[in-house]
Chain A
């Protein structure tokens, strides 16, 4: 087996061990609250795999996770920590909702791409300040993006005030939301295609095409980062910015681009819910995708294809959390802790693995004899002294 394949398998092993670690600690917690871990896990797996609505639900839940994971991973790939995916998707979602309901009379072929672009633009806009401050002033992007999250939250609350974006038709009810978006702006359901593939997903599922958009984006970026000149430069900048600079690579431009792209993808995260499920932006709009995105990117080691798998896994766990709460009486937060523990274990595991691989590579290279001194030409005796 080639060393490359061996190292990849080791990564899978590390992943499985981390999951095992999480499961074990989770078991301890379950035991502490008088639940049988095996029973709970078993129920979770059965709930996920046998119920008709589970597959649809998992796929639906994975849509924003894929996008959030990709967005985070894109920034991590240039050693920038975009913790602001959360705020970026709020802005993208409300901007898209606005263009969705404020603009009327457009056919779907125009309206839908328009709102998607607006979502992307919203996310990019929200990512702009942190990256500019980082590149120009050295401001740590972790803190600035987290601050931008809080500001986004406040901004969205403000925009949902009456007289602004709030739906006047909801006056008198506790609902605080934007008006419905035009039908042309809603993302079409994926059900026809799913049923064509023979998967049994109930009609109530809101699975939509954004899932495929997300997967396509992951594949696209995987291709670009792996095979394009741009991807080569991204790797150089991430692994040794000084050498990249010395090679004539425009470090700052690459970092800027990747960060803005990260923000743009983040802008799409909320659209599955806004444009595919609800049809409006609500004050109780799902939160927390940003931080799940971080977990997914870490789990996937920032590999775009890995993001798809990790997102599905997290969606699986999320669905399972619902199941164990309803049927086993175990709080769904157990799963949240499980997720946190898995991430903790995997970051340690990946680090150890990387070091091990590095040492192995060095060992392999030493098999060839060290550099032989160049033979001195004939007649060159003892040099001058």
Chain B
């Protein structure tokens, strides 16, 4: 009974939503990349760079302008999270150049990005903070409270003391869905992911669309990493992403490559994540609870891939003049 109550407690759900955000943002990014036809396995590495970049920049701003930061405490984390998105975009650019322009196998390119990111994050951390695995602590955004929700009793954990990034993330998902479905850009991006040659013959710039899709995925994954470091970890810690960049891909698949679908899937994973953190006195050893999201990912891929419909040209490089 206790367990059941824990499962649906507002505190747990609030925790789940908090933990959903990194997966959600990355999954949203993955949707845009793959809708354009480019598989981005490197999102984990991009997230890692986002965690480091977000933490480091927040730290620099806070330390560099201490009085200003004291007066306006939200500026440092804001700059930090924007920097994280920027760093993510830069890293995604590498993936884009290698896999779109040079037409290297997209999986290999993504794996290479991950390798590079791991080493780079470590190195930069040593460079700036003299320690290889973590940065000094930082302060995040001032938590906000959601106007209507906060007055409902019992929902207090959900409505009070909420990171402002969370509503922003949800907004981004809604915007993403609208863009993909109802705008010219969305139509062209989807066309490029289904049948790039057809789009090309109609004057759509396939390369540009694919680049944009990948860069968007980098910005979002970077932002996700930034949120993770700034709002949750309050600093950079090596390995803090814990494979979320890959779990996000599963969420994307589970969500059938639509942003709203990815939202639902991410919430599920976030729930498992939250669950794993809270429940300590269960008969299942805690080690297995920490990998609940990972087990769930495998189940998702095993159970649902056949039904899902991925963009037809996903993963296939495109060249203008056939050989």
Contacts and interface: CB of A to CB of B under 8 A. Distances in A.
Given A343-B115, A344-B98, A347-B109, A143 B301 contact: yes
Given A143-B250, A146-B243, A298 B302 contact: no
A229 interface: no
B181 interface: no
B116 A147 contact: no
Contacts of B242: 150
B102 A340 contact: no
Contacts of B290: 154
B155 to A, nearest CB: 33
Contacts of A154: 287-288, 290-291
A138 B41 CA distance: 17
Contacts of A81: 107, 111
B302 A139 contact: yes
Contacts, number: 126
Contacts of A362: 323
Interface string B272-297: 00000000000001011011001101
Interface in B69-126: 94, 98, 102-105, 107-109, 111-112, 114-116, 118-120, 122-123, 126
Contacts of B115: 291, 294-295, 339-340, 343
Q: Which of A146, A153, A358 has the most CB of B within 10 A?
A: A146
A291 B126 CA distance: 21
Contacts of A83: 111
B43 to A, nearest CB: 11
Contact of A151 (B108, B122, B295): B295
A29 B126 CA distance: 13
Nearest to B109: A347
A155 B284 CA distance: 12
Contacts of A146: 243, 246
Looking at chain A's contact residues, is the secondary structure mostly helix, strand, loop, or mixed? Answer: helix
A51 B278 CA distance: 52
Contact of B294 (A133, A150, A336, A352): A150
Contact of A133 (B103, B104, B249, B301): B301
Contacts of A12: none
A6 B160 CA distance: 69
B175 interface: no
A158 B288 contact: yes
Contact of A137 (B126, B243, B297, B305): B305
A298 B132 contact: no
Interface string B240-260: 001100100110010000000
A142 interface: yes
Given A147-B298, A150-B243, A333-B123, A348 B104 contact: yes
A197 interface: no
A351 B102 contact: yes
A333 B119 contact: yes
A331 B126 contact: yes
Contacts of B66: none
Interface in A300-340: 331, 333-334, 336-337, 339-340
Contacts of A294: 111, 115
B188 to A, nearest CB: 26
Contacts of B303: 137
Given A138-B306, A333-B126, A334-B123, A347 B108 contact: yes
A139 B107 CA distance: 15
Listed residue (B98, B246, B288, B297) with the most chain A CB atoms within 10 angstroms of its CB: B246
B294 A339 contact: no
B127 interface: yes
B107 to A, nearest CB: 5
B127 A348 contact: no
B126 A298 contact: no
Contacts of A158: 285, 287-288
A361 to B, nearest CB: 11
A137 B301 contact: yes
Interface string A129-164: 100010001111011101110110111011001000
A49 interface: no
B105 to A, nearest CB: 8
Nearest to A160: B287
Contacts of A343: 112, 115-116
A341 interface: yes
B110 to A, nearest CB: 8
A33 interface: yes
A298 B116 CA distance: 14
A151 B291 contact: yes
Question: Among the interface residues B112, B122, B288, which one has the most CB atoms of the partner chain A within 10 A?
Answer: B112
A252 to B, nearest CB: 16
Interface of B: 41, 94, 98, 102-105, 107-109, 111-112, 114-116, 118-120, 122-123, 126-127, 132, 242-243, 246, 249-250, 253, 285, 287-288, 290-291, 294-295, 297-298, 301-303, 305-306, 323
Q: What are the 5 closest A-B residue pairs judged by CB atoms, nearest first?
A: A336-B119, A340-B116, A333-B123, A139-B301, A154-B287
Given A137-B301, A154-B287, 4 more contacts: A29-B123, A331-B123, A339-B115, A344-B94
9 contacts: A81-B107, A142-B246, A151-B291, A154-B291, A331-B126, A336-B122, A340-B112, A341-B116, A351-B103
